[in-house]
Amino acid sequence: MLEGETGNAHAYTVAVGVVVVALLASLAGGPVHAPFEPCSVYAAAAPAVPRNIPQHITTLVTSYIALENAKHSIEEYREWMETMVCIASPLVVFADAASAEVIRGIREDCLDGADIVVNVVDGFADLYTAQWQEQLHAQAHEDPEAKIGHSAELYMIWNEKTAWLDEVARKNPFGTQYFAWIDIGYFRGPEYHTERAAFYKVAWPAASRTQVFDAGRVLVLGVAPVVPGSAECADADAVYGSFSKRGVGGGFIGGTAAAIARWRKAYYELMGRFLGEGRFVGKDQVTMAAVACWQPDVVEVVPACGGDWFYMASYLRELRLQG
């Protein structure tokens, strides 16, 4: 947190830098997102929206389906859920039956069970990605990370994010303007789950930050630079060589219903193409990077500060300098 006059002066300088960079970029017709260093001010900002005034502008969408050989334990996920499920924004969750009860209980304890829909997922046969289940099972044997919990079922869940997000955006059960997929483990660590944090029992994304959403493009996080027209984006081989391990973060996808519909079409068309070419599609991040490379009219990439995989948490919180 920012403390004392020195900290406040630094924060003010950085904040002004953010505004100036954004203004110049806007006048030039470019993106309004600040470059890597200045945007770190968001990680040090304090909440400005009173905790008792929910601002229902964005519906959050997430999922938790317990898998036998998961990378993280159920206990770890339960700890992360304590923050994610307690964000005071409308929430739609896709979960197995047992996990659904746990999630409802958490929401009841922290927010009296308000503004939540939990959809029970009974197996994988009804998922949109079930059409590729056989190929994904075959690809599980090619994944060097199979020993740490990667499986065909996990690939299906990762690649189902876009379909789930689009389904919620079309139905719009809470009548919101924006929708955001956010991994249920995105808000991990004690810094997110305290009375000083700008997440626990607080509306997120902050109402003032939703201005960064483009009406026609979804917003995603760039952990590494994803620049259309660059050598890294030249073709499928370049995309796979550049972004298989570090490129677009898969934990966040946000925007309007129209933008999400366009994203869904582009995403699954490329996924099908890559499968047809015999390419590995288990990790959604590579396909996401390919869409960002080749269809910049569909997706806008926000650069992560310091390569932070969870930077969207800070980027979309309320910006307020402490006095």
3-state SS, one letter per residue, for the chain: CCCHHHHHHHHHHHHHHHHHHHHHHHHCCCCCCCCCCHHHHHHHCCCCCCCCCCCCCEEEEEEECCCCCCCCCHHHHHHHHHHHCCCCCCEEEEECHHHHHHHHHHHHHHHCCCCEEEEECCCCCCCHHHHHHHHHHHHHCCCCCHHHCCCHHHHHHHHHHHHHHHHHHHHCCCCCCEEEEECCCCCCCHHHCCCCCCCCCCCCCCHHHHHHCCCCCEEEEECCCCCCCCHHHCCHHHHHHHHCCCCEEEEEEEECHHHHHHHHHHHHHHHHHHHHCCCCCCCHHHHHHHHHHHCCCCEEEEECHHHCCCCHHHHCCCCCCCC
Q: What rounded mean pLDDT belongs to the chain? A: 81
The mean pLDDT value for 1-6 works out to 30
Asked if the bond preceding 144 is cis, omega within 30° of 0, the reply is: no
From 60-74, 76-90, 265-279, the region with the lowest mean pLDDT: 60-74
1 — pLDDT class (breaks 50, 70, 90): very low
pTM: 0.81
pLDDT of residue 73: 77
List of domains in the chain: 58-316 (3.90.550)
The mean pLDDT value for 180-209 works out to 81
From 33-42, 51-60, 165-174, 215-224, the region with the lowest mean pLDDT: 33-42
The mean pLDDT value for 37-41 works out to 43
pLDDT of residue 148: 59
From 29-38, 75-84, 173-182, 183-192, the region with the lowest mean pLDDT: 29-38
Q: Is the pLDDT of residue 320 over 60?
A: no
pLDDT of residue 49: 44
Tokens 């304890």 sit on residue: 109
What digits encode the pLDDT tens for the residues 277-290?
999 999 899 999 99
The mean pLDDT value for 296-309 works out to 91
The mean pLDDT value for 268-281 works out to 95
Q: Is the pLDDT of residue 315 over 80?
A: yes
